[in-house]
Chain A
Amino acid sequence: MAIDYTWIIDDDDIFTFTIKKMLELNHLTHRIDTFSNGLEAKQQLDFRKENNLPYPNIILLDINMPILDGWQFMDEFSQFADKKEIIVYLISSSIDPNDRIKAKKYEDIKDFVVKPVTINALLQLIAHAESLMNIP
C-alpha cells in the first residue's frame, strides 16, 4: 500500500515537515513535493502538463496561505483539464463550520481533514485514496 506521488501545499513549514516525515517513515508514498502556496503548485501543474510529466496522485491542500490560498487554488484547479487524475484533500486547522460547508461545494475536494493529522488519520486517508484509484 503506497501512493506513487504526493504533493503537500502549505505555508506552515513545520506541518509540511511532519507530514513528509510520517509519509516517509511509514513508506506511504514514493515521492513527495511541497509548495508553500497555491500559485507555486498551480505553476508546477501547468509545467507538468506542457512537458508531459506525471501528475501527483494526491494533493494535501491547506486553506490559509498567502498569494493563492486553498480556495483560490481550487478555483484554478477546477479549470485544469487533467484534474480527474488527481485526488485533492483539504487539510486545515480551521474549525470554522463555514469552511466545511464551503469545501462541500467543491466537487474536486474529496475530503476535509482537520489538523493535527495523526498517523492513523494519514493511513485512512491513503487507503481512501487507493480505493478511489482502484489500487489493490
Chain B
Amino acid sequence: MDQSIQFKAIWQAPIAIAYLDTDLKYIAYSAKWLSDYKLPQEDIIGKSHYEVFPEIGEEWKQKHQRILKYGNIESNPAELFVRSDGSHQWIKWAVRPTFNQNGEISGLVMSTEDITETLKLQSKVDREHQLLLDAADKAKIGTWEMNHITNELYWSMVTKKIHEVHKDFVPDIATGIDFYKPGVNQEIVSDLFARSYKTGERFEVELQIITAKGKERWVRSVMKAEIVDGKCIRQYGTFEDITDKVVSEKNYKLALRKFHDVFEASGVGMMVVDPIDLSITEVNPKICELLNYHSDHIKTSSLERFVLKADFPKLFNSVTDLLNNKIDGIELDIHLKKSTGRFVICSVIGTLIDDDQGNPIDLVIQVIDISGIKKKEEELRAFTKYVEQQNERLLNFAHIVSHNLRSHSSNFEVLLNLYHQETDVEDQNNIIKLLSSSSSQLAETISHLNDVVAVNTKKIELSPIYLKENIFKVMENISSQIKEYHINVDVEMDDDFTVAASPAYLESIILNLLTNSIRYRKKDVPGRITIKAYKHKGKSRIIFEDNGIGIDMKLNGHKIFGMYKTFHGNKDARGIGLYMTKNQVEAMGGTIRVESEKNVGTKFNITL
C-alpha cells in the first residue's frame, strides 16, 4: 500500500486518530486530532507524543508500555481529562497496538472522541426526561417501559398507584395484561401490544382495568415501540386513570339522552332558545303540533315571530331580568301565533342553562296551551257572575216582595185599627172603601210578583222568530192607541230578519216598549218610534227609539229597570213594565241598555 495515500486517508478521517511508533513518535494523524486537541497547525510527525502532550502522566506512560508489550486494547467510553490550560474534556478513547507484516507490534493507534458536547446534550436530555416524568407524575399520568433486551417491565410510581399495587411491586408483561378487565379489554390490549411490537405503531386506547384491590377503573394507555434494525428493543408509553372523566362523561351522556328523550316525548311543548338573540335552536314534536308548523319552519327563526306583538315586551323584559340574575326563571302567560294565524294563550316557563363557567348558553322554554283552561276559567267566571246576578235578583225580589206585601198588610192593620176607633159611620164606610182598594192592590201586586217569578223560573225555549212580522202583530193589538195619539212607527229591517227568542216574551217586550213610548210621548209634537234590527257578531241587535219626553238619566238612570219605579207621576204608570222587560230579556240570555235625554227621547238597545 502506498504509504502517502494511506497517510492522506488518515489525515482526512472524521475522527481524531494518531499513529505512533514504538517510541511513541507520530507517524500519522488526522486533521481532527489537531483540532480536537487544539494543537498548533505545524507538522508533528516524528515528534514524541509526550512532547506534544507534556501533561501526560506516568500512569498513561505505563499503559502505553503495557499495550506495546502485551498487545492488549485499552479503552474508556468516557473519561475526564483536565488540560494544561485548565479546561475539561470528556474523552471517549481507545488505544490499540499496530502490527507489522511479521505480526510484531510496531506501534500504537490512538483514537479519541471529544464527547464533552454530546455528554452535555445527553445530560440535558436526561434532565428534560426527568422533568417530563415529574410532570407526568403531577398530571397523574403514569409511565411504563418494556425493555425487550433485558425483558424487564418498568412501571412508574403513578402507574403502580393506578394499579393499586405496592411501590415495590415488580410487574411483568403477563401480570401487566392480566390487570385489564377479562374479556374484550384483555384481548384488545394483547393485540395492540403485539402489533406495536411488530410494526412500531403508536396506539392509544381507553380500557378498563381491575386494580389489585379489585376496583374497576378506566385507563387511557398509550404505547409506542422503538425498533432497531427491524427488531423491537423496547416498548413504552403512558398510563392514565380516566375513571372520573369517563364516569362524568357517561353521566353527562346519560343526562343528555334522558333530556333528549323527555324533550322528544314530552306532552309539554319545549324549545331551546338562544338567550341572547332569541333564535330557536331546538324544538320538540309537541311544540310543532301546538304551533302547527314543521320543525324546520320553527328552528332558526326568532321566538319573536311566534309571539303576539303586545305580549313580546313582557317576554323580552323577563329574559333580560333572567340574564341579569334578577329572577330565577320566567313564568308568563303569552299568546303564541299558530300557522293558521290564530293565537293560543300559553303558559310559558323558561329556565336558563349555564355552562361550567356560569355563562348562559341555552334558554329552555316549556310551553303549555292553556286556552282550554282559560276558556273554562272564563266559563266559570261567567257562571259565577250569572249566579251572583241571580242571587242579587233573588235578594232584590225578596225586598220587593217584603216592601210591597208589607205596605199592603200594614195598611190593612192600620185601617182596621182606625175602623174600630172610628165612630162616625160615614168615615167608617170610607175606611171600608180604602180597605177594598188596598185589597185589590194587593191582588195586583201578587199577580205581578207571580209574573216575575214565572219569568225567572221557567225554562226558556228559544226558537227563530220573524221579528218584523211580530212587531206588526203587536202594533195591531194596540192600533187604537197608535191611531188616537197619531204615533208614526218605522220598522226598519228585512222581512226575513229572524231572532232566537221565546215568542211570548218577545211579544211582551215589544208591547212594553211600544206602550212605554206612547205613554211618555211629547204632547206637543207628533210621536215617532223607530225600530231597527241588525246582526252583530252573531247576535241580534234590536233598537227601539222614540222622540218622547225622555228620562233624566243622571237623576233616574239607576231606577229605570227597577220594580215599581216610576218617574213621571203618571197615574197609569205601574212601574212593572220595564222591570218585566229586563227580566224577560235576561231570561233569554240577552241584555238591554237604555240611553235617554230629557225632552229629546229614549233609546233601548236589546241584544239577543
Contact = CB atoms under 8 A, between A and B. Distances in A.
A93 B418 CA distance: 19
Interface string B394-418: 0000010011101101110111011
Contacts of A119: 417
A53 interface: no
Contacts, number: 75
Interface residues of B, number: 29
B596 to A, nearest CB: 15
Interface of A: 12-15, 17-18, 21-22, 25, 36-37, 39, 64, 66-69, 72, 92-96, 115-119
Contacts of B411: 12, 14-15, 18, 116
Contacts of B409: 116
A69 to B, nearest CB: 8
Given A93-B402, A115-B406, A115-B407, A18 B568 contact: no
B555 interface: yes
Interface of B: prevailing SS:
helix
Interface in B565-602: 565-570, 573, 575
Nearest to A18: B414
A66 B402 contact: no
B402 A94 contact: yes
A66 B570 CA distance: 9
B466 interface: no
A34 to B, nearest CB: 14
16 contacts: A12-B407, A13-B434, A14-B415, A66-B567, A66-B570, A67-B566, A67-B567, A67-B568, A93-B402, A93-B410, A96-B403, A115-B410, A116-B409, A118-B413, A118-B417, A119-B417
Contacts of A15: 407, 410-411, 414
Given A96-B403, A117-B414, 8 more contacts: A14-B411, A14-B438, A18-B418, A22-B414, A64-B565, A67-B566, A116-B413, A119-B417
B568 A93 contact: no
Contacts of B573: 66
Tell which of B406, B410, B434, B437 has the most Cβ of chain A within 10 Å.
B410
B421 interface: yes
Interface in B546-579: 555, 559, 564-570, 573, 575
B417 A96 contact: no
Nearest to A92: B403
A22 B421 CA distance: 10
Residue of B414, B417, B570 contacting most chain A CB atoms (<10 Å): B414
A62 B50 CA distance: 155
Contacts of A66: 565-570, 573, 575
A17 B568 CA distance: 22
A116 B418 contact: no
A93 B566 contact: no
Contacts of A67: 566-569
Nearest to A68: B555
